Amino acid sequence: MTSHASDLTRLPAPTVPEKVTADGLEGKWTENWATSDVYAFNPDTTRAEVFSIDTPPPTVSGSLHVGHVFSYTHTDTVARYKRMRGMNVFYPMGWDDNGLPTERRVQNYFGVRCDPSLPYDPNFEPPHRGSATSIKNRDQVPVSRKNFIELCQELTIEDEKGFEELWRRLGLSVDWKHHYQTIGTKAQKVAQAAFLSNLEQGEAYQAAAPGLWDVTFQTAVAQAELEAREYPGFYHKLAFHAADGSDVVIETTRPELLPACVALIAHPDDERYQHLFGTTVTSPAFNVEVPVLAHPAAEIDKGAGIAMCCTFGDLTDVQWWRELALPLRSILAKNGRIEAETPEWITDPAGRELYAACAGATTFTARKTIVEHLAASGEMLGDPTPTQRMTNFFEKGDKPLEIVTSRQWYIRNGGKDFTRANAHMPLRDELISRGEELNFHPDYMRVRYDNWVKGLNSDWLISRQRFFGVPLPLWYGIEADGTVNYDNVLVPTQDMLPVDPTTDVPPGFTEDQRDQPGGFAAEVDIMDTWATSSLTPQIAGGWLTDAELFQNVYPMDVRPQGHDIIRTWLFSTVVRAHLEFDALPWKHALLSGWILDPDRKKMSKSKGNVVTPMGLLETHGSDAVRYWAASARLGTDTAFDESQMKIGRRLAIKVLNASKFALTMGSEADLDLNPINVTEELDRSVIGELVKVIETATNAFEAFDYTRALEVSETFFWTFCDDYLELVKERAYNRDGLWSAAQSLSARSALALVVDTMVRLFAPFLPFATEEVWSWYRPGSVHQAAWPTADALQVAAGNPAILDAASKALVRLRRVKSEAKVSPRTPYLNVTLEAPAALVPLLESSRDDLARVTHIQGEFKIVTSAEEEVTVSDFTLGEAPAKVKN
């Protein structure tokens, strides 16, 4: 349990600096928190005492942007609240440092590219270290895989230092003793062990099958990584030739795939092609005979209603190929070029000559060559027609994906029919049920999870043809004739993990058997970054590395993340926890929205519209930026708005100044925080309103509605500053001795209690300003203090309507002077307040404070009015007192 500061009700007079300022508080308190372990997780605990957070590990590939500050602040407010509620908060930080973004950054930063065929150079020095603005691929120096990985590790360590510095500056209450890298030893052990467990249970499998492929990054792409974008193209009308001499015209945007055509397909109900079903036609230019078949996925009203099926042009081709048992005639290589060797199925000499002219060419060049040939032969009808089509892209790529057949590894996720051993329903249904168990905040985000699971059409492709990542912990036996037998999978023992198959040896083999007949071959693919990130609760929680920690923090309490990665990170984490532990990885999912630029577009590094946060933190202060972030509710996309930060800075400064003012009204007197001393009705009224604020803010935080907690606290605070503090300051000071000691003490105690409560209510949002105020009068940290409770103040709680009525009267009495354009210190020689009958007794309770603060020197009447508002009548203003000259 968190050790809270003692709840003393009488403290020595506050030690307040002569001049208070919000500037410089970040440096002062960040260092203090680090040295005093304010946010340290206590390992001597029980699970019931712990609140654990599966913190998102940011991608370490450059710099953080303001969107990160936005969402991570949301989590931090919750962490700080739970800590003040007495929970032992487990708040780790991870760095997502593997995958394509890191590799691209390393290539650009150092001017290198990975060539696995090269030997390791222990003395290699990269040609650049961030000095070149743009290095083209052809100018990048090739290096060995090991050299490339070392450069990746070097740069990510430097990037992580910058990230940590910014997070500390923002005031994240992370326990920095608990951090990890998704490429680190601990993460590799967890990821490899989980994969091997999946393999043993039949939940991981390999398959040689057509899959989406990015020709730029030379890697397979999973369904969750797809992004549909519009792509310009042209429709070409091509004439296939029927046996009776007639032509069958199809329309295609990809004539370069004509050599890979295996069938023409139309809808079974399309009357135009009934007579052709079961017959064959020959393809234009290549003269390959292909069948005409029926399939319900063909679209009657699209183009000619009949389409050529190539292996493979798109995902529909894959569907037709599987369901109609069509031959495989792939002509696209992994580099996106036409295969060099002319296929055996093209037997026509003219067709073979045309293919040879396309061999080794890009799809663009091959398309141009084939289209020119078809135009000359008359087998293309008319000119190509421009079109915009939706095409699949890798979310990080800039070229349309191709479909290439390759051997890959998959984890079952309900995308295909599969029922686990001893399970009572298919895996897809199990995962849908898991989504129903999970608490989504906001709840309407639940449908995104549900729709994603129900819409899956393939299992999770986890292998990647890259270099910097967690290796798949596998080898394959090699037959006596030198053929790699991919069905003979060799795996490490648990105690060997983590392993790198390219340097480590499988059990029972020696290094000299690598790549030799009768020996073994290493798996060179790595795991998809999500295959590691899907295990963040297990990695951070110490699975396989710290059994006691894991028992105390797992399953975790919350997963905070963006709503845009429900289908990737949230779902994949649920899958891995379900397969390994048959349970959810956490109880709650907190889903933040996006930050939008002025054009209402999502901020992202790829779009080049991001704002970096350090300048904002320096200009406005961390508390101000946090205020802006916390003003946006979960799930809500929010426009970037510096004006909101200015409001936050004003609030932080007001917390400092108002607290100083309120705490020092007793001059050198002790600070009395005993609510029993609050005896005056107006003072009891402000405490009554404060009790309502505590209850509302607490209930809001319990529902993870930090925005509501901030709203209600801020609204009350400004009323306190603008009205109550002004109303009672004369009584609190009591310089002229017009009030009794008890009346003056009542005001000072109420002021101290409000400040003492407000700094705690604001602590999750404005950690620096509140810590500064706390240090003036209490030992320890406000962030280890107890969250305020309504019960502690009930003895002093009066009718909140008294303060509301007094505030209305104060506004009216001030307005009279403002409209008369006289000094606020101008006295009323007489004045009458008119108010509804219900408010008259309430105003009588604050008569003396109202008279003193508004300088009423003569008769002061409070009378009943038929009007619904408080009004001022029958007043006479005197002369403003002369200004005192220094």
Q: Would you say 182 and 539 are in contact if contact means Cβ atoms under 8 Å apart?
A: yes
Q: Would you say 589 and 74 are in contact if contact means Cβ atoms under 8 Å apart?
A: no
> Three-state SS across 13-58?
CCCCCCCCCCCCHHHHHHHHHHHHCCCCCCCCCCHHHEEEECCCCC
b/e burial code for range 450-483 (CB count within 10 A of at least 16 → b): eebbeebebbbbbbbbbbbbbbbbbbbbbeeeee
Query: Rounded to 5 degrees, what are φ and ψ at 54?
Result: -90, 80
CA dihedral over 271, 275, 278, 280, signed as positive or negative: negative
Q: Which of 62, 80, 79 is nearest to 166 (CA)?
A: 62
117 Cβ neighbours under 8 A, 6+ residues apart = none
How many angstroms separate the CA atoms of 671 and 619, rounded? 35
The tokens describing 659, both together, are 């607290």
Beta strands in 578-728 (DSSP E): 586-592, 595-596, 638-639, 671-672
Q: What is the DSSP letter of 566?
A: I
Q: What is the DSSP letter of 337?
A: B
150: left (phi over 0), alpha (psi -120 to 50) or beta: alpha
CB atoms within 10 A of CB 358: 24
289 Cβ neighbours under 8 A, 6+ residues apart = 280, 281, 282
How many angstroms separate the CA atoms of 225 and 233, rounded? 23
How many angstroms separate the CA atoms of 292 and 267, rounded? 11
Q: What is the DSSP letter of 881?
A: P
Helix (H, G, I), strand (E, B) or coil at 653: helix
Cis peptide before 555 (omega within 30 of 0): yes
The tokens describing 196, both together, are 């091997």
Q: How far is CA 11 from CA 463, 631, 653, 662, in A?
A: 63, 34, 24, 15
Q: Would you say 831 and 874 are in contact if contact means Cβ atoms under 8 Å apart?
A: yes
Strand partners, 873: 832
The tokens describing 187, both together, are 């993460």
Residue with tokens 């001017």: 111
Q: How far is CA 248 from CA 306, 367, 428, 581, in A?
A: 9, 21, 42, 56
CB atoms within 10 A of CB 548: 11
How many angstroms separate the CA atoms of 110 and 158, rounded? 13
600 Cβ neighbours under 8 A, 6+ residues apart = 639
The tokens describing 215, both together, are 């020709």
Residue with tokens 């009007």: 867
Amino acid code (one letter) for 520: F
How many angstroms separate the CA atoms of 112 and 698, rounded? 54
Helix (H, G, I), strand (E, B) or coil at 726: helix
Angle (deg, nearest 10), helices 145-170 and 622-630: 90
339 Cβ neighbours under 8 A, 6+ residues apart = 330, 331, 332, 333, 359
Q: How far is CA 845 from CA 487, 747, 800, 803, in A?
A: 88, 14, 12, 10
Q: Report the Cα 629 to chain-centroid distance in Å.
A: 13
Q: What is the DSSP letter of 545?
A: T
605 labelled binding-site residue = yes
How many angstroms separate the CA atoms of 392 and 699, rounded? 45
Q: Which residues are annotated as a binding site for ATP?
A: 605
Q: Which residues are annotated as a binding site?
A: 605
